[in-house]
Amino acid sequence: MLKSLLFIPLFGAALVALVPARFAWLVRAVALATTAVAFGYAIWIYQQFDPGFAGVQFYESHTWNPRLGSAFVLAIDGISLAMLLLGTLLCLVAVIASASIRERAKGYYMLLLVLETAMLGVFMARDWSLFYVFWELTLIPLFFLIDRWGGKNRHRAALNFVLYTLGGSVFMLVALLVLYDAAPGQQVLEMTLILETGRALPEQMQILLFLGLLIGFGVKMPIFPLHGWLPLAHVEAPSPVSILLSGILLKMGSYGLIRAASMLPMAAEALQGLLVTLALVSVVYGGILAWRQRDLKAMIAYSSVSHMGVVLLGLAALNPAGITGAVMQMVAHGLVAGALFLLIGLLYERTHTRDIADYSSLVRTMPRFAFFTVLTLVAAIGLPGTAGFIAELHVLIGGFQAWGGWIVFLSLGVLVSAAYALRTVGRLFTGPVAARMQGLPDLTVTELAAAGVLTAGSLLIGIYPTPALALIGASVDRLAQLFVP
């Protein structure tokens, strides 16, 4: 079942490779159909999933390298499934948003589908060696997508992204090799089997391993001060790639951190102070830098640092409310960031500028665009009725249970988010209509559908969060039980 989902995008990439490049419309149609089928298949898996069972489901294993003890192992729990649903949805939206890609379109869509396979593999892998392979595999399509179809500084952005991520991956790899060496009786890296090995290690060894994994996963999240690659990559990447980069690629880091905490619980508890400090600094620092930006994509990029700081804060609480808030924030930010990059990308295609000072009163010329942009910015703040509110409320409760009044820094981050969101609304949609902004075409039906499904998802979770909370509840409770005093 999971193997089929994993290989659907790869099969689509092979079909795209067989289509002659001159039939650009057919290339795009195949990519669109492939991502739609993958999303539909993920929904079907969700219908077969038992949310009340805390363990992994749909487990399948095939021996990969008997001598090294590695295997091709796939399985999911509630947290994994939430990420699969988010990832397949955002990949579909990214293909829809790629209508402006006309040069070398065949290569572009092939890389996009390979990237989807790698991302899904990260969330389905239950063997650390397989996880690492998929983790590194995401770098190849992303490098070429940024380097070939990005902005004027695309070469620097692509190289910067790869070097940062590879640098972090070295620490992750060393930690995994040490963990493998610490299990002489098992000699496996299958996640379920190696849990007991990790938990049985001395606290000092757990701390060293966790720090290595924290650097590797922290680069991808990203958390302060490992975020240096993010603004440049977001600004220079094509907007559809930015949707995936912010909406789902960043979640790979926080997802990996969840798995690391379950394997090394003593280290997570010992480093709780470090984690909460990094989280609070990321929340405030990212928000302030977002507030200072004139480039709309750079603003969203720095806001992602702030929002992922909220995820880290929830994880650092090490209690059910905090971890629930962290996972919900991963989903909420994926929907909001995906929608923002989609809308800003569509605006850039029409105006060829991202400077916020160049806009005014777009509500008169692009009312549908204005409606969805305001709605998405409101969701980014985390106002009631949106998924962000559900996430931040859980993080607030979990953080208060863990640290009391120090959680006020989270409220400061929310206030900064409100400041730059309201400033953006004021600059884009108030004042006289600039001459160059008159006559801009509003969102098309297809663009309207893509923006609508992301904002609808955020509102649906915000108004009726029960299904989402039920999906992740058993898996979160199982993780939180490791940290009960």
- Does residue 162 carry a pLDDT above 60? yes
Q: Please give the residue range of the domain that contains residue 313.
A: 271-485
Does the residue 309 lie in any domain?
Answer: yes
Report d(CA 71, CA 281) in Å as an integer: 39
Q: Could you tell me if residue 3 is inside a domain? A: no
d(Cα 305, Cα 290) in Å, to the nearest integer?
9
Question: Mind listing the pLDDT tens digit for each residue in 210-255?
Answer: 999 999 898 888 888 888 788 888 888 888 888 898 888 889 999 9
Question: What gap in Å lies between CA 21 and CA 15, rounded to an integer?
Answer: 12
Cα torsion for 484, 212, 214, 216, to the nearest 10°? -150
The answer to whether residue 248 sits within a structural domain is no
Q: Is 352 left (phi over 0), alpha (psi -120 to 50) or beta?
A: left
Query: Which of 16-20, 176-180, 201-205, 429-433 has the weakest average pLDDT?
Result: 429-433
The three-point CA angle 261-474-272 to 5° equals 25
Tokens at 45, concatenated: 């898996």
Residue 161, domain member (yes or no): no
- Does residue 54 fall inside a structural domain? no
Residue 185 placed within a domain? no
Report yes or no on 98 lying in a domain. Answer: no
Using alpha carbons, list the distances in angstroms from residue 87 to 16, 68, 90, 170, 227: 20, 31, 5, 26, 22
The answer to whether the bond into 202 is cis (omega within 30° of 0) is no
The total domain count for the chain is 1
The answer to the question of residue 148 being in a domain is no
Residue 236, helix vs strand vs coil = helix
DSSP codes of every residue in 276-295: HHHHHHHHHHHHHHHHH-SB
Q: Mind listing the pLDDT tens digit for each residue in 63-101?
A: 776 666 667 889 999 999 999 999 999 999 999 988 888
Residue 185 has a pLDDT of 56
Please tell me the distance from the alpha carbon of residue 208 to that of residue 305, in angstroms, as a whole number.
Answer: 25
pLDDT tens-digit readout, 92-130: 999 998 888 888 888 899 999 999 999 999 999 988 888
What number is the average pLDDT over the span 347-373? Answer: 84
